[in-house]
Amino acid sequence: MSLTDDALVIFTPSGKRGRVTRGTTVLAAARKLGVDLDSVCGGRGICSKCQVSPGYGTFSKHGVTVQADALTEWNEVEARYDRIRGLKEGRRLGCQACIQGDVVIDVPAESQVHRQVIRKSASDRVMVMDPATRRFYVEVREPDMHEPTGDFQRLAEALENQWQVKGLVAEPHVLHKLQTVLRKGEWKVTVAVFHDHLGPPRIVDLWPGFHDAPLFGLAIDLGSTTIAGHLASLTDGRVLASSGLMNPQIRFGEDLMSRVSYAMMNPGGDQEMTRAVRQGLNTLATALAEEAGIDPAEIVEAVFVCNPVMHHLLLGIDPVELGQAPFALATSESLGLAARDLDLNAVNPGARAYVLPLIAGHVGADAAAVALSEEPYKSEDLALIVDVGTNAEILLGNSDRVLACSSPTGPAFEGAQISSGQRAAPGAIERVEIDPETKEPRFKVIGCDLWSTDPGFAEAIAATGVTGICGSGIIEAVAEMRMAGLLDPSGLIGSAEQTGTWRCQPEGRTHAYLIHDATAEDGPRITVTQGDIRAIQLAKSALYAGARLLMDEMGVDRVERVVLAGAFGAHISPKHAMVLGMIPDCPLDKVTSAGNAAGTGARIALCSVAARRAIETEVRRIHKVETAIEPRFQEHFVAANAIPHATDPFPELGRIAPLPAVSFNTGGSGEAGGGRRRRRG
């Protein structure tokens, strides 16, 4: 121990060090040295958030020896806390232990405000907590008749003096309950303060005394078809509940453009749709709170990601301008709002909402969220990130430059507009294999682990039966048909004679391939028709053309890795996607799935103001490419219609067997190409 009046204190893992006067509490020392040590009660020994682990002995790395009496002894507050709630072995309360000599103090992750949390997703990236809403315990001056300031002003003064929260804004919802809570808590209250980068600090809610209950937020991915939400803790980002519901706007139109049309054709139609989606959000919030077993009033924030049309309808803006060139957004930047401004009344009345920025008229906040999750702007490799929905959002880039576009794939990848198509649900065929020799299929359905050729399959699926084929199923089916030589490169299905299998049966002027026939048991007859092939060809051509357009713009003819995002992306087989030509060729092991990257991005933004700032900056830097007016998009689209030939431009891929160079006598089909394509506007 040094003989001087101050002591050396070294905090790990930050490595921050400095000298403090002996007698300083560990918490005060941490604050002085800018060490991230949490505290809600401000050092009053109530909250236990400031737990630290002092180290003793010699730390040669730090050049210091810590004596056993480097900290004051365990005091009464710590003893009481340990008795009532339990203090982990070796832990001290930072606000109670005072520094008496040189010391090394470890701040465990759970005692850091800006803690790093390992996400559960496949990638091992960490999420740094930097929540906009934090709780502060304060002691407020009592009112004095001779100095008649308002209760709010004295609370604001306490937050400024005790927590350096400056410029607090008084809002009606707080003023309503302020006086009751202050008196109930005998002038000691816990205040949840929301403070992001967009505005002044605001009180979200307050409670009498020390209030330790955690705060929660919603991360909502508002899709055209589905509204998916996560309920996460704002303390550590943990997801307590995830749920989804059908977007109630479905009744106004299946896809975005039909909703824009609905708004165009029906006066007040946009407002009808706004009401519908907002009702849906309240339903979802209630369901999530119930699933998590929390009071909905503990939800104090909501973050929204969505495509531009959903964005406008959420905000009550008529989306009509998004239906026609130049696809002008009403507003493109991020928005901070009161949740009640969005009629989100199922949550805390003071809850705040944050909407991520939009990238362009067709590239939404959902794409921004994918970017936030996948961070192409930090990638060393040139990454192609594809989020497939009714529209595909495509990002291409690396740390030098990121490009974005949207491509109108239509709903075929989601099983819609497919003769036996259905949404991904139990009973739907999701995997397909066709034996190249026998041309016989086998398949798996959702909800059952067996292949259709396995013993016991019929019994295992008795509950649902085989009901149809979903998006990933139809992609595998088409790719397998091509690999088995049932399709020619133009996508034409051969006859039984041409293909050598009875399963290729005539249907009108073309043929269909029979996958499953349950008509004997009054079940469905599931085929892949020529029309299905065309629908998939149109969708994959649009996706591929979008990716190619970005590659042209970037001046490259290959990408180094591909990330498939979205629920669909998680289920799709990279091999089949590549056989089909959905995505540019790339080593198969460089094709990864990011899961629901838009939802992950929403969660990241929910947990971190720094992340909100970051994506706002990055979105401004992303270069947008508008597919709708780009002649090369049409060229790529037409060129991409075929299903790739055996002469693979990247033979090193290896794992994909060369495709057969079959050729059927088509009898002339005018169906291929872009002629039938539904264009926007």
Q: Which residues bind a second copy (CB under 8 A)?
A: 142-153, 170, 172, 175-176, 178-180, 315-318, 320-321, 325-333, 335, 337, 341, 358-361, 363, 624, 626, 628-629
* Token pair belonging to 528: 């892949």
Decide whether 319 or 471 has the Cβ nearer to a second copy: 319
Residues in Cβ contact with 615 at an 8 Å cutoff, skipping those fewer than 6 apart: 334, 356, 357, 368, 369, 371, 372, 601, 605
Of 2 and 180, which has the nearer Cβ to a second copy?
180
CB of 620 to a second copy, least distance (A): 9
Q: C-beta of 649: minimal distance to a second copy in Å?
A: 31
Between 122 and 169, name the residue whose CB sits nearer to a second copy.
169
Burial track 449-465 (b if 16+ CB lie within 10 A, e otherwise)? ebebeeeebeeebeeeb
**Least distance from a second copy to the Cβ atom of residue 175, Å:** 5
Query: For residue 19, which of 103, 93, 111 has the smallest C-alpha distance?
Result: 103
Q: For 67, which DSSP code?
A: -
Q: How far is the CB of 590 from a second copy (least distance, A)?
A: 30
How far apart (Å, rounded) are the C-alpha atoms in residues 483 and 361?
Answer: 38
DSSP symbol at 391: S
Q: Are 175 and 155 in contact (CB under 8 A)?
A: no
The distance of closest approach from Cβ of residue 607 to a second copy in the complex, given in angstroms and rounded to an integer, is: 24
The DSSP code for 656 is S
The alpha carbon torsion through 547, 550, 551, 554 (nearest 10 deg) reads -160
**CB closer to a second copy out of 143 and 500:** 143
* Closest distance of CB 153 from a second copy, Å: 6
- Say if strands 202-208 and 188-194 run parallel, antiparallel, or are unpaired: antiparallel
Nearer to a second copy, 357 or 421 (CB): 357
What are the φ and ψ backbone dihedral angles of 414, each rounded to 5 degrees?
A: -100, 10
**Shortest Å distance, C-beta 314 to a second copy:** 10
Helix (H) or strand (E) holding 77, with range, is helix 76-84
For the CB of residue 167, give the shortest distance to a second copy in the complex, in Å.
Answer: 11
**Is the bond into 326 cis (omega within 30 degrees of 0)?**
yes
The residue among 47 and 314 lying less far from a second copy, judged by its C-beta, is 314
Cβ proximity to a second copy, 254 vs 321, nearer residue: 321
Q: CA of 306: how far to CAs of 334, 427, 560, 602, in Å?
A: 12, 29, 28, 10
CB of 575 to a second copy, least distance (A): 35
Phi/psi class of residue 622: alpha, beta or left (left: φ > 0; alpha: ψ in -120 to 50)? beta
In whole angstroms, the minimum distance from the beta carbon of 613 to a second copy comes to 16
Nearer to a second copy, 318 or 374 (CB): 318
Best CA proximity match to 302, nearest among 270, 251, 345, 263? 345
Phi and psi at 607, nearest 5°, equal: -90, -5
Give the residue with the Cβ less far from a second copy, 321 or 648: 321
State which residue, 85 or 146, has the beta carbon closest to a second copy.
146
Instruction: Note whether 192 and 300 are within 8 A (CB).
Output: yes
Nearer to a second copy, 90 or 167 (CB): 167
Least separation in angstroms between CB 528 and a second copy: 37
DSSP 8-state secondary structure symbol assigned to residue 487: B
Distance between start and end Cα atoms, the chain: 77
Q: Is 145 exposed, middle or buried (0-12, 13-18, 19+ CB in 10 A)?
A: exposed
